[in-house]
Structure 1
Amino acid sequence: MSTEGRVRAGSMSVGGLVPQLAGACGIVAAGSYLAQPLTARIAADLHLAPNLAGLIVTLSQIGYCLGLLFVSPLADRFENRRLLTIVLAASAASMLLAAFSPAGVWFLVAAAGIGVSSVAVQLIVAQAARLCDDASRGRVVGGVTSGLLWGILAAWPVANLLGDALGWRALFLLEAAAVLILVPWLRSVLPEWQPQTRMAYLEIAASLPWYWRRYGELRMRAAIQSLLFGVFSMTWTSLPVWLRDRYGFHATAIACFGLAGAAGALVVPLAGRLADRGRTSVTSIVAAAAVAASGLVMCFDPPWWMLLISVIGISGGVQASHVVSQRRVLALEPRAANRLNSLYVGGFFLGGAAGSALAMPLYRGHAAWVGIAGMLAGSLALVLAKSLRSS
């Protein structure tokens, strides 16, 4: 356990907290993805011009990047439980604004707020990593991160199903209620952690470029994960259209396919345990190879069940790589863990944004281009992972 701050014990052991923190991460992460499959419906209801509808997702992504740069590093300066409470309260407020938005401009403001406050998941992961020793850090980070992945992947089909049944406003109300329930619960079970640093906020923000230059492994792991997360985003962005156009799937079938594709999250705890046993490099290489192989399968217009296997391979490979990489990044310098994590996550999130932007242009050219791009990006990540092992 890090000694770079003062810890006051909470009411549970770290092992007992892992599944519950995973659930908390899943709830918060899901909130930032609820609008994605409902963009057209929300824009129509709020009379938002079609050319502005894409801003719903874009502003959420920009907000998340801003949160990583300007909110998450605050955890290296201020008491973490209090900071997490404030960020979750902001998340609930943003969800309520989205639910009651009278016009498109208010929903866009809410989308940006949801993005900024979704960095709460990174605060939870960093807090969990800080509370355990090196021997169990991979298992703990993997367990908590698996909840984050389940939340992201489940948000897509759940939003489709509940959006049809209850309406999109009710969906955001339910998410706000869930986040508000998390606030007092997390305050009761998480220990206090007060960083020892007395750096001013501007000094903390100014130190980000210095840490980026200092740690070559940070830059390399961010590059690897950027490539892999780009494949992940590209695949899941194009998947609904792919399933509808090429296999004739209707909305419910697409939602069920998405839930089945979330099975890739099952490998995340295993990846964490392998990292704890010193198998970080091997896990990174196998994960990148799984993504490249899955992309190759998608190049040949596979039957739907083979596409499902490929989607599971991509989801599992991307998240296994993320767990072992994040474990390494958080251990580079414990007193600056949140700043290092912000740089790492922000770096690979750019790859995800690029993958989302490329998905539909590539698919409209031919569905095989999505697979080809995935294979190439996965192969490059594999090369980088091998070079990192030999360095």
Structure 2
Amino acid sequence: MKLRTENAGMSSGMILLFAVAVGVAVGNLYWAQPLLANIAAALNISQSAAGILITVTQLGYASGVFFLVPLGDTLNRNRLIPVVMAAASIALFGCGVAPGYTLLMLSLTAVGFLTISGQLLIPLAGDLATDDQRGHVIGSVTSGGLTGILLSRTVSGMLGDAMGWRSIYFLAGAVTLILSIILALRLPRERKTKAVGYGSLLLSIFTTVRSHRSVQITLVLGACCFSVFTMFWTSLTFLLSAAPYSYSTTQIGLIGFVGLAGALAARRAGKLHDKGWSVAATGAGLLLGIISLVIAGVSDGSIYLLLLAILLIDIAIQGINVLNSTRLFTIVPEARSRLNSAFVVSCFLGGSVGSMLAGILWQAGGWYLVTAGELILMAVALMFWIFNRSVLEFKQPVK
């Protein structure tokens, strides 16, 4: 395969820039999560209606990843990425000025659709990395996104308490706009590629997925795990804002630092792939996820048990996500952007279902019913892995 970029490896500085940009882009999806109770009170809506704001953001993101990210396999990404980041900044400013629930919902849908630059940067990192550093690079850049998810909750909670929930969207819009300018100056130029019709490009996503059973299995595992991840963090906001915790949005946001430790630990999962342990490590991550949910279910008002559950579930889910991404980029290198589209769409469709279920199950039975639903989904993923692990096995080049 002839690469569109010079495959001379990535410097630590470029890896850091990619990780920060991915973190900001993905974090833009989650500013509202610790603020749901505040938004519900300010707009006079129910908690389940507030949960829908997360759902529409994720559905918008899944749509953007499907319709825009495949363009990364044909268009010059050094131009495409800054443009979509600048457009996302406009949508974020729109959230800050939205006067009511409907316009906020529409603005958040636009944020989801446009803040997809992270999913263009991750395949680009895979192209720029050398073979022997690819797992490490993808793990580091992907962990930037996972870190962005968690830090966005912390920053959002603290700033929301200090300056109101709208202020976070003005800050996010400004940071996203600045990063779009930096990337426009720093991203390496790519060689021109053969033009492909847009319809054919989108159709090739389905044909590529259909042609590789290992891709199909990875997509199912990703959807199940991200559904659990979103259910957990959405319902956690409701749990911590109610008795016996009754935490402020700042305190809820600070809980994100525990998840951040999990994300940093999971960053090394890419190296497990480089050593040929990707499939076994995925199974271990699923088991760890089940254990963490059991701990969460029996925490019964103990913040220490709950913090332990948060740490373990983030290590599990984040590690599985890194392993899934790296595995996909190895299967069909010339279609990395399209495979990344398929993977992220499947994850965020699962995530949108998870956020919706979190609101429904919370209203019906509170924390225990939500945790039971999460355990069922994680058990389904583990059984699916057990029966299909032989398909996922493939020989890695010896480094």
> TM (normalized to structure 2)?
0.89
1:73-105 per-residue CA deviation (whole Å, 9 max, x = no partner) reads: 111110011110111011111112222334544
Which residue in 1 is equivalent to 2:214? 217
User: 3-state DSSP class of the match of 2:255?
Assistant: helix
- AA in 1 matched with 2:367: A
Counterpart CA distance in 1 for 2:51 and 2:125 is 35
Q: Is the 8 A contact 1:226 1:351 kept in 2?
A: yes
Which residue of 1 is the match for residue 225 of structure 2? Answer: 228
Counterpart CA distance in 1 for 2:295 and 2:333 is 40
Matches within 5 A, 1:1-391: 3-7=1-5, 13-39=10-36, 41-42=38-39, 53-194=50-191, 196-245=193-242, 247-251=244-248, 252-302=250-300, 303-363=302-362, 364-391=364-391
Q: Deviations over 1:203-231 (max 9, x none)?
A: 10122221221111111011112111111
Amino acid paired to 2:317: V
CA 1:379/1:43 → structure 2, altered by over 3 Å: closer, same or farther?
Answer: closer
What secondary structure does 1:356 align onto? helix
State the secondary structure of the residue aligned to 2:4: strand
Distance 1:102 1:368, change over 3 A: closer
Report if the CA contact (8 A) 1:73-1:342 is conserved. Answer: yes
Task: Provide structure 2 residue ranges, at least 5 long, that are not aligned to the other structure.
Answer: 392-399
Aligned residues: percent identity? 31
**Counterparts of 2:261 and 2:244, CA distance in 1:** 21
In the superposition, relative to structure 1, how do residues 97 and 360 fare at CA in structure 2: closer, same or farther (>3 Å)?
closer
Contact 1:121/1:148 (<8 A) preserved: yes
SS at match of 1:78: coil
1:320 Cα deviation from its structure 2 partner: 0.5
**Alpha-carbon distance change, 234 to 50 in structure 1, aligned in 2, over 3 angstroms:** closer
Cα deviation, 1:4-37, whole Å, max 9, x if unaligned, reads 4432689x94433112211111112222211233
* Distance across 2 between alignment mates of 1:369 and 1:46: 27
Q: Report the CA distance between 1:264 and its aligned residue.
A: 1.0
Aligned-residue RMSD, C-alpha? 2.4
Secondary structure of 2:304 counterpart: helix
* Count of residue correspondences: 388
- Matched residue type, 1:255: G
In 1, distance between residues paired with 2:46 and 2:361? 25
How far apart in 2 are the matches of 1:154 and 1:134? 31
Change (3 A) 1:6 1:318: same
* Structure 1 pair 376–101 and aligned structure 2 pair: CA distance change class (3 A): closer
**Aligned-partner Cα distance in 1 for 2:298–2:258:** 21
Q: Is the contact made by 2:69 and 2:119 (CA closer than 8 Å) also made in structure 1?
A: yes
How far apart in 2 are the matches of 1:47 and 1:259?
30
**1:240–1:170 CA distance, 2 compared to 1 (3 A):** closer
Measure the CA separation in 1 of the matches of 2:233 and 2:48.
Answer: 22
Report the alpha carbon displacement of residue 253 of structure 1 after superposing the two structures with TM: 3.0
Q: 1-side partners of 2:383 and 2:225: how far apart?
A: 12
Distance in 2 (CA, whole Å) between partners of 1:281 and 1:88 is 34
**C-alpha distance in structure 1 between counterparts of 2:81 and 2:34, whole Å:** 28
Alignment-mate amino acid for residue 196 of structure 2: M
Q: Return the offset for 1:141.
A: 0.8
Counterpart-to-counterpart distance in 2, 1:234 and 1:129: 30
8 Å contact kept, 2:22–2:142:
yes
Specify the code of the residue in structure 2 equivalent to 1:316. Answer: I
Q: Which range moved further: 197-206 or 83-92?
A: 197-206
Is the alpha carbon distance of 1:39 and 1:361 closer, same or farther for their aligned partners in structure 2, counting shifts above 3 Å?
closer
Partner-residue secondary structure (3-state), 2:5: strand
Amino acid at match of 1:353: S
CA distance 1:131–1:290, change in 2 (3 Å): same
TM-score (norm 1): 0.91
| 1:133-190 deviation per Cα after TM superposition (whole angstroms, max 9, x unaligned) | 2221111111011111111112223212101212233221111111111112112222
Stretch deviating more after TM superposition (337-346 or 206-215): 206-215
